[in-house]
Amino acid sequence: MNRPNRPPRRLCLLLALLLGILPGCGRSAAPSRSADGIRVGVALYQQNDTFIATIVSSLEAAAREREADEGLKITLNITDGRGSQATQNEQIDRFLSTGYDVICVNLVDRTAAAVIVDKAKSAGIPLIFFNREPVREDIMRWDKVYYVGAEAGKSGVMQGELVAEAYRADPEALDRSGDGVLQYVMLEGEPGHQDSLLRTEYSIKAVTSANVTTEKLANDTANWNRGQAASRMSQWIDQFGGRIEVVFANNDDMALGALDACHAAGVEPLPFVVGIDATPPACESMRAGELRGSVYNDSPGQAKAILDLSVALAKGRSPSEAVSFKEEKYIWLPYHKVTPETLDEVVPPAE
């Protein structure tokens, strides 16, 4: 219908957008962005993952500290994707439509990033991926997309070095059959996760490049999970008995699962079991002399980087003044080797 006395509808829309008053459109319409506080949405792939739980508690501690130091209100809304990308997408959609300042995503499926980046870009809300790394093309899709993590290959190398160093120090303790070869099994994380692929490959490469000969008895995925690792390991104990000299596990939870299976089957002496993360239960096991080594995956460092970057982005400050980047996109926290002897010096007490 023609309404001659009113300005054209398109002009109204444009004016409203310019003045930032149009409900339901674009960023300006996002509900209640608080003037002095910031709201950060954190979408986890699985909250009951031991390592992810350590990132969350460090993130909460870092936020409280920052609030106290700066008098800045920081609201962290943490959601659990429970291993479903569809569930996580809904959670992210809710953050996008309710005006969060920054969204931090621990993807369920590393290949699902592009759609999330495109939605965040059209809402103008920066994204920080962490721990589960999207492919580079997805990170490069928009300039306000970042990644916080640790270089997986390096943790594999360190884990291999831990085994090679222990072997060099006392060959008979590891090579119990005395055949000059280390018979091992490999417990792998989720298939397709960058850490599973690279840790599996680089740990063995590091052992062989230290001139230690290895023989793989078996490998399988246990999806980062202690229970699944225990059941794989008990099958291998039935199959190989005392021939298993070393257990490489892509993370500590699976290393602890392997030890659970050894205890259940009464395996004595224990094989040389190594993990990655240096989580609190793994440190306890190292103190008890069971887990023989791990690689510290710096969750407080990663949490602090996520928080510092979130605050900078939410406040419109320069991200490179808050964190140090590689290629203005990636923030890498270093890994550190941990043995029972170096544990107290390398791993800070849990939050």
Q: Using CB under 6 A as the criterion, which residues of the chain lie in contact with ligand BGC when the complex forms?
A: 49, 51-52, 131-132, 193, 195, 224, 251, 276-277, 297
| Shortest distance (Å) from residue 45 CB to ligand BGC | 6
Whole-angstrom Cα distance, residue 88 to residue 308?
24
| Cβ distance to ligand BGC smaller for residue 132 or 141 | 132
Whole-angstrom Cα distance, residue 73 to residue 251?
35
| Cβ distance to ligand BGC smaller for residue 58 or 297 | 297
DSSP per-residue string spanning 124-139: T--EEEESSPPPHHHH
Residue with tokens 């072997």: 167
| Shortest distance (Å) from residue 197 CB to ligand BGC | 12
| Shortest distance (Å) from residue 194 CB to ligand BGC | 9
| Cβ distance to ligand BGC smaller for residue 175 or 190 | 190
Please name the helix (run of DSSP H) or strand (run of DSSP E) that holds residue 320, with its range, or none: helix 319-322
| Cβ distance to ligand BGC smaller for residue 39 or 304 | 304
| Shortest distance (Å) from residue 180 CB to ligand BGC | 32
| Shortest distance (Å) from residue 213 CB to ligand BGC | 27
| Cβ distance to ligand BGC smaller for residue 109 or 195 | 195
Whole-angstrom Cα distance, residue 127 to residue 146?
6
What tokens appear for 201 in the block?
């490959």
Instruction: For residue 255, give the DSSP letter.
Output: H
| Shortest distance (Å) from residue 279 CB to ligand BGC | 7
What is the torsional sign of CA 314, 318, 320, 322?
negative
β-strand pairing of 102-105 with 145-149: unpaired
| Shortest distance (Å) from residue 147 CB to ligand BGC | 13
Beta-strand (E) ranges in the chain?
38-44, 74-80, 102-105, 127-130, 145-149, 182-188, 214-221, 246-249, 272-274, 294-296, 330-332, 336-338
Quick check: helix, strand or coil at residue 44? Answer: strand
